[in-house]
């Protein structure tokens, strides 16, 4: 059965997944890139964003690669798609990733402002959903055709899915950095009450990887 997952989601030691003052110059906020430094040298990242060869194998790459396995659709918050706020001023902004984004499947972007879908190179199509997370998930499941749906972020989007009990698995990569301020992933949340438990842990010199899994209800129903 298909799952709804979060994967390769960076978090600082003090619980932030984005720093303060997000902008075009600082898409993850000031200092926020530090929570994702672990992934930049992996084979998976280099194959998707670098020269297409090289990169390091090992624990970090294993987790980076598994986050792309069996993914049939993505869901992104608007902040993850770009820094523009309010009404779309024009159609020029098409994401942070250039003409060939790394998704290669349908991507559903949560927004309050309608916009026509954007067809990109490599099979990525951005669809803009104004009706909220449940409609976005229904459309993503349909588009995924039995494969998994990955919720890519940002923090507010992941928190919405957690609170709604819609996530089957969350992979966090805790980087050895302190941000001091920004967007806190878990502030005010009771993860046990939300049905999550830690099922995996592995460490590299660059990050500690933790997988949280949603417990099955009593009686084995899903």
Write out pLDDT tens, residues 38-69. 999 999 999 887 666 688 899 999 999 999 99
Do the domain assignments include residue 91?
no
pLDDT of residue 134: 98
Do the domain assignments include residue 205?
yes
DSSP string, 20-48: SS--SS-TT-TTGGGGGHHHHTBHHHHHH
Do the domain assignments include residue 97?
no
Q: What is the mean pLDDT of residues 126-139?
A: 98
pLDDT one-digit tens code per residue, 161-198:
999 999 999 999 999 999 999 999 999 999 999 999 99
pLDDT of residue 50: 64
pLDDT over 50 at 222, yes or no: no
Instruction: Quote the number of domains for the chain.
Output: 1
Share of the chain above pLDDT 70, in %: 95
Do the domain assignments include residue 99?
no
Do the domain assignments include residue 221?
no
For the chain, state the CA radius of gyration: 17
Provide the domain limits for residue 63: 4-86+104-214
Any idea which residue has 């980087």 for tokens? 175
Do the domain assignments include residue 95?
no
Do the domain assignments include residue 92?
no
pLDDT one-digit tens code per residue, 14-34:
999 998 877 777 878 888 899
pLDDT band at 103 (very low <50, low <70, confident <90, very high): very high
Structure tokens at 193: 């009450």
pLDDT of residue 221: 47
pLDDT of residue 74: 98
Q: Which whole-number Å values give the CA distances from 87 to 108, 113, 119, in the listed order?
A: 17, 6, 20
Rounded Cα–Cα distance for residues 138 and 75 (Å): 11
Do the domain assignments include residue 173?
yes
CATH of residue 26's domain is 3.40.430.10
Helix (H, G, I), strand (E, B) or coil at 10: strand
**pTM, two decimal places:** 0.92
């Amino acid at each position: 059965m298909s799952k709804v997952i979060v994967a390769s989601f960076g978090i600082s030691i003090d619980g932030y997944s984005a720093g303060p003052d997000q902008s075009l110059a600082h898409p993850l906020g000031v200092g926020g890139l530090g929570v994702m430094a672990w992934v930049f040298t992996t084979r998976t990242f280099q194959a998707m964003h670098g020269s297409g060869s090289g990169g390091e194998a090992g624990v970090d790459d294993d987790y980076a690669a598994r986050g792309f396995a069996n993914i049939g659709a993505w869901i992104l918050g608007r902040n993850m798609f770009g820094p523009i706020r309010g009404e779309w001023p024009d159609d020029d902004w098409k994401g942070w990733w250039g003409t060939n984004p790394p998704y290669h499947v349908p991507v559903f972007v949560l927004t309050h402002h309608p916009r026509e879908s954007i067809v990109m190179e490599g099979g990525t199509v951005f669809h803009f959903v104004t009706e909220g997370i449940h409609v976005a998930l229904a459309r993503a499941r349909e588009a995924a055709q039995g494969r998994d749906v990955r919720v890519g972020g940002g923090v507010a989007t992941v928190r919405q899915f957690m609170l709604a009990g819609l996530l089957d698995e969350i992979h966090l990569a805790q980087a050895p950095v302190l941000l001091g301020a920004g967007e806190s992933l878990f502030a005010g949340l009771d993860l046990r009450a939300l049905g999550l438990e830690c099922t995996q842990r592995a460490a590299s010199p660059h990050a500690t990887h933790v997988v949280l899994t949603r417990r099955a209800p009593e009686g084995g129903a899903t």
